[in-house]
Amino acid sequence: MGDSNSSLAALEELRESGDYEKLGQALPQDWQAADSTQAETIRLRLVAAEVYGREGRLDEMQEALAPYLESISEVPFGLAPRLMIVASNYFNRRCEGEEALKLASLARTVATAQGDEYSAAEAIQAEGNALWSLNRWREAVTTFEQAISLYAAQSRSYRLGLAYLSLGGVLGRVGKVEDSRTALERAIRIMLKYRDEFSLAVARVDVALALNAMGEYETSLRYLQFAHDTFEQMGHDVYKLLSLTKIAEVLIYLKEYDRAGNYIARALEMYVATRSMQVAYLFELKGRLAIARGELDKAEKPLRASIEMADQSGSRVQIAESRRTLGKLYLLQRHQSKAVEELRLALEEAEKLGARLLELEIKSLLSESVYPSDPVAAVGMITEVEAEIADRNLPELKKACQAARKQIDSLDHEHYFIISDARMPTLAEARVAMLKWLWARALYKAKGNARDAAAQLDVTPTYIRKLTKLIPRDMLRPGRKRPRKRRGERSAG
């Protein structure tokens, strides 16, 4: 018994350090033949299930968990939280988010009742993963932040890295790409200390998505190529396919259309072998590539196919993105009514999901589409987008916004001026602006003479000195100062 306990302790140590490759090698070969009701066998089966799950081998993961999935209540109480956490991850990988969330929440409750802080923290992270898959992203952010706090208090550095990885991924979904990048780069720094190449590669894929939104395509491409090489070495087909599609997307941004087409073709070949859920995204990429090349007549068919496939798989995010791209196509083809229809459907999906950046992009396209018929609504939308992205590094979204504004301003309509709450000046700012204007006007009339300008404003020189503290120096003397006459010139006169 002592030997088995020490063996299990060694496996647990490998698990806690993230060395899943060595963990799989250290797993006893006869665990499948052992009595599945024994506590030691249950723990071995849970380790095996985790190893298989990370490798994307769901059939083997199911086989390891099979004796317990229908009878979790019969498992020894002390092992119940860990079993429910692994089972939650299994259902999450099978896209059964509701069942995954139910098991993770139950695991959290049981672990808390037992005083098992380690399992409680992992259960909270499993809850976050399930919420993420259910598109309840804002709740997932809060949950991952709780997990981070617990892991930090427990000094579990590797688990902390995993939590930052999850937090960064979901922050990107809600549009906080700057925060997403920060969290993911922190996860990468932590993961570099361990031997978990898989999680490190996943972090690189996720940070590349944030970099794309921020216009750093070359850096994004390097991250994705690193990740692709890792997944290829591991033989992880699902993530290898994901990295191929993301590389194709970056190449479209970089205007390397032939290379992008080659990567899409490779990804489609892989899809035939893996039957991945990513096929809808691949067809949307085909449509985007055709639009980028100016081949508008070739874009509609793959985009329609993408929407249909996404609807069949229940991917609300992909439906919104594909409708967004289709609306953009119709806008380029000057089919205004079709563009408005698709973009409104896309906006409805994006708002339900809370995908803020996607929502802003759709609004910039929609404002351009509806302006001829509803100029007030169009200007209201574009003003909202401009206000939110003004101080953010989002070049692609700013390009879309500028294109919409340019198109709106070129149309033969009266101008509508709308100031959003985000851009409304404060009373103090308005006062300073008025003072600047008054002083500039007085100086102009006084031909640059500050004393004459003060007299025109009917204020004392003391007031002017106070005014200079409010107004930048370059704003104080826009007028041209009269040159002084020299003594010789005066006497000559």
pLDDT in tens, 233-260: 988 888 999 999 999 999 999 999 999 9
The confidence score (pLDDT) of residue 273 equals: 59
Report, as an integer, the average pLDDT of 123-148: 96
Domain boundaries, the chain: 355-424, 426-485
Q: At what angle do helices 197-213 and 157-173 cross, to 10 degrees?
A: 30
Share of the chain above pLDDT 90, in %: 59
pLDDT per residue as tens digits for the range 54-80: 888 899 999 999 999 988 888 888 999
Which pLDDT score is estimated for 96? Answer: 93
pLDDT at position 379? 84
Report pLDDT for 91.
95
The answer to whether residue 446 scores a pLDDT higher than 60 is: yes
Q: Which residues of 385-419 are buried (b: 16+ CB within 10 A; e: fewer)?
A: bbbbbeeeebeebbebbeebbebbeeeeeeeeeee
Q: What pLDDT score was predicted for residue 414? A: 52
| pTM score, whole prediction | 0.80
Q: Given this model, what pLDDT does residue 480 score?
A: 47
With contact defined as beta carbons under 8 Å apart, do 169 and 132 qualify?
Answer: yes
Which class for 156: exposed (0-12), middle (13-18), buried (19 or more C-beta within 10 A)?
middle
Neighbours of 278 (CB within 10 A): 21
- Residues 21, 309: Cα–Cα separation, whole Å: 35
Higher pLDDT, 33 or 361: 361
Return the structure tokens found at 127: 């809850």
Q: For residue 493, what pLDDT is reported?
A: 44
The enclosing H or E element of 354 equals: none
The arithmetic mean of pLDDT across residues 127-136, rounded, is 95
Lowest mean pLDDT among 118-132, 172-186, 384-398, 415-429: 415-429
Residue 337 confidence (pLDDT): 93
For the segment 374-402, what is each residue's pLDDT rounded down to a tens digit? 888 888 898 899 989 988 999 989 988 88
pLDDT tens-digit series, residues 160-196: 999 999 999 999 999 999 999 999 999 999 999 998 9
Computed over every residue of the chain, the mean pLDDT equals 87
